[in-house]
Structure 1
């Protein structure tokens, strides 16, 4: 992962001053569109502004159907067409205020970077970060170590891609229910987890770090996997079938001095966040963009430059960006059958459940662990040990052992209708209405075709 230099810190301080003098303006329009709520954001421009807006919309569980982005110069103006998760317009009254707070001068900075295993104390829990080579039973061993060290897992998210694994786990002390602050205990937990990750002598899992910096969980997972080079095409296997593959093109628009990025993939939740997050963390600046994300397909077009103000200058950099965007899209679409576990939460639950998965030859490709009051609500994507679909009799055996009413098969609606491949695509051919020509009519950009 690229690091921010001291000059960027100076730029950040100047950007904060500009924001204090020119606070962001957010308007919510429920009248202009019949199908969606329009959220318009005008603000002084600073690095990462687009990601912060997309991030807060995503965290509010809003679905971005369309977006028009313009941030050339010292000001940026974005228009988002959003709905709730059921496709309805918004009724919430605090949307504008929450977005303004996210962009204001006191907004939390998300530009921190940490290494492969980190342990930090937060306000309500302790956060553990892990990266390593994925293998059968790895998650079971991780949760077994935490249970043995009297750590209660209150939440976690695990991604796997291209034979790599990244995880952010939130724990508390089993007895007190409080964060773990004892440095010696944290160091022991970290070393035990490192020994699990290094069991196959994977050199890339050998680093560890303790940090006191908070970051957004899903952005952090992207950063961890990017730093672990899960985008590397020389790795064993991407774990994503051709039918699910995103289509990405990156070409220079010489007369405008931009690099143009086009993406086409199956539409799904948080897709736009994943791509904008990756562009930002790779230190590319989005100057203009247009997004159409209406099921079953999503199209994104971005006019970008590197943070130094120049477009992509080499074939190696172009290929790297393509591979990184493909990886960012595919990380959330792990192959496998989705299982949902709902039960009363108890200490050691995850250790027991993942042990049963391992003993039955199930490999966990993705996991999301949450605690809602006294209830544990967890989802797992699983395959067999070879990455193939799990046999129905194996699933039923696992369900009987854990509890038929506790563990259920959950249909994944986003595993259907893959986009048809095309050799080349451009959003320019998709614009028909006046609103869709918004940015082009400003004379700031043109469709690259």
Structure 2
């Protein structure tokens, strides 16, 4: 009736360092499985260069070609395999497709870290937590006048072992060993009412909100990141074809290749109740990707309604052109960096955003005075907003438009994997 667990996820390692690793998932199908798998791959710092998706609505067969990004990243492949198994429906009873697709969310824990503050240390902590398979849900960084800082990380354990004292102690011990004398103390406990307080929605000033989420953003064209002989980024195109298949709608997509592209497209499909029956993400050619998706509505019918087609195409184009929003604003006398990304309907934000932003700021030598992650609601959707107060320094003055543009450009390119 089923297949052995070892055969559900198979990882075939590349023979050469410049070749991708092939990850194959073969299991019963469920709604949103492709999105969940892409999300986990992105959490591990892997970039999907190609993908083939096939399902008959009951059983699916998915192949990902992945590479570490950056190439120097060390991947725990056994942990990745274990994590990829978690969203797959049970294969012990392969014809039972009615199991819940909405498991209870993991408990939130509060990690308090007292540190001697310095440039780049926030990213270093973030990297340690990522390597320990901990997911940051919220952050609050509070510096003190004496050069120290209290960092509050609200986290979940993807290994689901926080109920054991050993796992909690190991996390604190690992932080202490990795940070050395920079770490004054650390404490990990189940989050209390303080998490509910920080979980509320932000009150962004209307001008900030309009700049981050306004519709005019879609009319802006960004610089092409990969080809020096092109001055602008080709806008993505989405073509709808209902003539090639009697039961499926074909979506043909052309867009610039970027980190998380497969996840973004599968997330939109999941949130729009669109089922991907067959899909192919080709290898990047001159920085561009061609994607073919044979899809159906939730009821198993083609997408024939013109308004439905228009809405889906608009959502895909928006997310491929601006999957993340990055701006710098004046917050009184201070300079604030704002980074926003859409939240899945399941309530999950995009993986590794905090990691990438702190990495970019560390590379530039920009000091983060304080940071927090909040939720913001617009009429269309919910967003996760990362707010960073940046500190002025001689090495990187922030009062010039050139410096601010440099920060926005560096952060955006790091987030997009360019």
Number of the residue aligned with 1:30: 14
- What TM-score comes out, normalization by structure 1 length? 0.50
Number of the residue aligned with 1:238: 217
Give yes or no for the alignment of 1:323 onto 2:329.
no
Give yes or no for the alignment of 1:68 onto 2:74.
no
Give yes or no for the alignment of 1:249 onto 2:239.
yes
Give yes or no for the alignment of 1:123 onto 2:113.
no
Number of the residue aligned with 1:359: 333
Mapped partners of 2:309, 2:77: distance in 1: 43
CA change 1:403–1:20 in 2 (3 A) is farther
Instruction: For 1:217-232, list aligned pairs within 5 A.
Output: none
Deviations 1:276-308 (A, max 9, x none): 111112111110011114251122111111121
CA change 1:90–1:83 in 2 (3 A) is farther
Mapped partners of 2:35, 2:320: distance in 1: 16
Q: Return the offset for 1:327.
A: 2.4
Mapped partners of 1:405, 1:186: distance in 2: 34
The answer on whether the counterparts of 2:29 and 2:59 sit within 8 Å (CA) in structure 1 is yes
Number of the residue aligned with 2:27: 43
Number of the residue aligned with 2:294: 303
Query: Structure 1: which 5+ runs fail to align?
Result: 1-16, 115-119, 127-141, 157-174, 205-227, 338-353, 383-397, 417-449
Among 275, 281, 287, which residue is 2:271 paired with? 281
Mapped partners of 2:190, 2:303: distance in 1: 45
Number of the residue aligned with 1:429: none
Q: Return the offset for 1:312.
A: 0.9
How large is the Cα RMSD of the aligned pairs?
A: 5.4
The answer on whether the counterparts of 1:38 and 1:80 sit within 8 Å (CA) in structure 2 is yes
Give yes or no for the alignment of 1:97 onto 2:88.
no
The answer on whether the counterparts of 1:42 and 1:76 sit within 8 Å (CA) in structure 2 is yes
Number of the residue aligned with 1:270: 260
Query: Structure 2: which 5+ runs fail to align?
Result: 92-98, 113-137, 156-184, 223-232, 342-352, 367-388
Q: Return the offset for 1:240.
A: 5.4
Mapped partners of 1:106, 1:379: distance in 2: 43
Q: Return the offset for 1:199.
A: 6.1
Number of aligned positions between the proteins = 293
Deviations 1:100-127 (A, max 9, x none): 523445899875899xxxxx9712359x
Mapped partners of 1:153, 1:414: distance in 2: 25
- What TM-score comes out, normalization by structure 2 length? 0.53
Q: Return the offset for 1:46.
A: 1.9
